[in-house]
Amino acid sequence: MQKPIIGLNSDFRPAAKERTPHSFIHAGYYDSVLAAGGIPVVLPPITKEVDMKRVVEQLDGVILTGGLDLDPKRMGLASHPAVRVMPPRREDSDRLLCKLAVDLHKPMLAISVGMQLLNVHCGGTLYLHLPEDLPRSLPHRDPLGGSHRHAVTIQPKTRLERIYGEGEIRVNSHHHQAVRKPAPGFTVSAKAPDGVVEAVEAEDREWFCLGLQWNPEAETASALDMQVFEALIAASSGKLELAGSRR
């Protein structure tokens, strides 16, 4: 069988003093897709729906990658000093990619801010800044920018449990925002010990759509994290019954 083609949205930096505009992506995303048996295709920030639709129609699956924060104003929220907003061109493109992937029910893995975008697009809400919105929450990132990990509990009878197994795992963590209210049609599949949502998934068993707050592509990921990419590749190959089956 042909390997599935997986679209990856890229980050974007506009021109600035002594800097040209450019797109880039963490190599872990496409290396993980390759290792799992897929063909990664990195997408530039496309902002015309007719063009993006043609691209998405050709894809077998989609990964919404991590990055800076969504613009609070576009969610009807006031800004906050801790928020680092991604460039508008990237957010415009990401929102369009997410909309079309959802409309077409493409197999999807949404990571970090990608999960937050998926949740907002489908009707959920976000905590803008965890240290203030949930002052009793545990640290979800190193304030000095270093590596940080914490436990998450996988919820029973979820697709995520089929991927990672039951109980508790440890994941990398570098976020200050999180899902507040899960979108209709989605269920929480992992939580941190403080109750913060760490993963969501579509309730529709015929649609592989999974959001992770942690970064399974990063250098700090565990060996277990490769299984989530393998599950995406299985679903994108039309083997939904194998997507999330543990080895």
Count of structural domains, the chain: 1
Q: Which residues of 1-33 are buried (b: 16+ CB within 10 A; e: fewer)?
A: eeebebbbbbbbeeeeeeeeeebebbebbbebb
Task: Work out the average pLDDT over 205-234.
Answer: 97
Q: In this structure, what DSSP letter does residue 16 have? A: B
| Residue 238 within any structural domain of the chain | yes
| Residue 247 within any structural domain of the chain | no
Task: CATH number of the domain at 121, please.
Answer: 3.40.50.880
Domain range spanning residue 50? 5-242
pLDDT at 165: 96
Residue 19, pLDDT > 50, answer: yes
Distances from the Cα of 57 to the Cαs of 51, 94, 124, 162, 168, in angstroms? Answer: 10, 16, 25, 28, 37
Q: Which of 189, 211, 197, 177 is nearest to 84 (CA)?
A: 177
| Residue 97 within any structural domain of the chain | yes
pLDDT at 247: 47
pTM higher than the cut 0.85:
yes
| Residue 13 within any structural domain of the chain | yes
Task: Work out the average pLDDT over 211-232.
Answer: 96
Please report which residue ranges of 104-219 form alpha helices under DSSP H. 113-121, 130-133, 159-164
Tell me the pLDDT tens digit for each residue of 40-61.
999 999 999 999 999 999 999 9
Please report which residue ranges of the chain form alpha helices under DSSP H. 27-36, 49-58, 88-103, 113-121, 130-133, 159-164, 226-236
